[in-house]
């Protein structure tokens, strides 16, 4: 079941969605997919002229694959321009993912500040891709292609503060326009930026995640490569704090991301 099919499943019946084990990340479903599905349920409750400006995501607990998940949405406030929305993914009666979102229509303003230029990176073709290896790499990586341009692969004893490179969805049956739900998957596809500092495998995952979308979103399709770069700002006591951003291949800023990650090694 592909990414687009799962998005459609939550649109069709948010009360009972099954995520297949092919989307697993250890014992849990892939966090980027969970965030995307909650977002898709939230998006349906907000006027179309109010695009998402920011999402605050908490991974409360692991969402088990192949067990029904219910998506609930509460509109907390709807002002003249901004809607504040709360989304929950519930499994076995417990919240597993919680998302608070701010959706806002554009307004007149004299303030215009262009984004900093995208960082330089080697061409996609010159970058090493992390292959999908059954029982070694996370199951969900069969659906996403990642090519390293900054830092090292996980567990390579690489002390760089940076990690990232090129990313896109893999093996799409058809090319479709991409939206913010797709960006959630592309950003969270990357492992915690602290994992390359380790020399042996150890578990790590996102704890909290805030992402801000640049609007209007530049035109993007599901086959387009995007450039992602994360920077470790601090790490200690099993927690890391990272700041990141993602750009189109042409260098247009798409989103700004911050994560608190856990690492058990």
Sketch out the chain's domains with CATH numbers: 1-105 (3.10.129.10), 120-265 (2.40.160.210)
Question: What mean pLDDT value characterizes the chain?
Answer: 94
Q: What's the burial of 205, exposed, middle or buried (CB within 10 Å: 0-12/13-18/19+)?
A: middle
**What one-character DSSP code corresponds to residue 152?**
-
Any idea what the Cα angle at residue 147 is, between residues 186 and 183, rounded to 5°?
A: 10
User: How far is residue 131's CA from residue 103's CA, in Å, rounded to a whole number?
Assistant: 36
User: How far is residue 82's CA from residue 51's CA, in Å, rounded to a whole number?
Assistant: 9
- Interval 184-213: pLDDT, tens: 999 999 999 999 999 998 888 889 999 999
Residue 265 confidence (pLDDT) above 70? yes
User: How far is residue 232's CA from residue 43's CA, in Å, rounded to a whole number?
Assistant: 31
Count of helix runs (H) and strand runs (E) in the chain = 3, 13
- Interval 130-173: pLDDT, tens: 888 887 888 999 999 999 999 999 999 999 999 999 999 986 67
* Pair 68, 16: CB distance under 8 Å: yes
Q: What is the pLDDT of residue 171?
A: 67
- Interval 70-88: pLDDT, tens: 999 999 999 999 999 999 9
Q: Per-residue pLDDT averaged across 87-92, rounded?
A: 98
User: How far is residue 68's CA from residue 6's CA, in Å, rounded to a whole number?
Assistant: 13
Measured CA distances, 109 to 28, 113, 215 (Å): 43, 11, 14
Residue 228 confidence (pLDDT) above 90? yes
User: How far is residue 148's CA from residue 158's CA, in Å, rounded to a whole number?
Assistant: 13
């Amino acid at each position: 079941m592909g990414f687009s099919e799962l998005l459609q499943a939550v649109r069709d019946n948010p009360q009972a969605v099954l995520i297949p084990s092919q989307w697993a990340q250890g014992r849990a479903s892939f966090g980027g997919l969970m965030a995307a599905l909650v977002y898709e349920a939230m998006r349906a409750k907000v006027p179309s002229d109010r695009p998402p400006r920011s999402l605050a995501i908490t991974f409360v607990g692991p969402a088990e694959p192949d067990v029904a998940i219910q998506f609930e949405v509460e509109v907390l406030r709807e002002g003249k321009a901004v809607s504040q929305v709360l989304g929950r993914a519930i499994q076995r009666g417990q919240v597993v993912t919680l998302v608070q979102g701010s959706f806002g229509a554009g307004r007149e303003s004299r303030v215009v500040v262009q984004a900093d230029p995208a960082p330089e990176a080697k061409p996609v073709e010159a970058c090493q891709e992390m292959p999908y290896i059954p029982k070694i790499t996370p199951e969900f990586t069969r659906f996403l292609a990642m090519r390293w341009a900054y830092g090292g692969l996980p567990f390579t004893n690489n002390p760089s503060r940076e990690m990232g490179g090129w990313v896109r969805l893999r093996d799409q049956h058809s090319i479709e326009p991409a939206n913010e739900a797709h960006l959630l998957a592309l950003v969270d596809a990357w492992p915690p930026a602290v994992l390359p500092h380790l020399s042996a495998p150890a578990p790590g995952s996102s704890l909290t995640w805030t992402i801000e979308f640049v609007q209007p979103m530049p035109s993007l399709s599901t086959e387009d490569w995007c450039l992602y770069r994360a920077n470790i700002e601090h790490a200690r006591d099993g927690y890391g704090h990272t700041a990141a951003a993602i750009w189109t291949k042409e260098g247009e800023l798409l989103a700004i991301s911050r994560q608190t990650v856990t690492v058990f090694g």
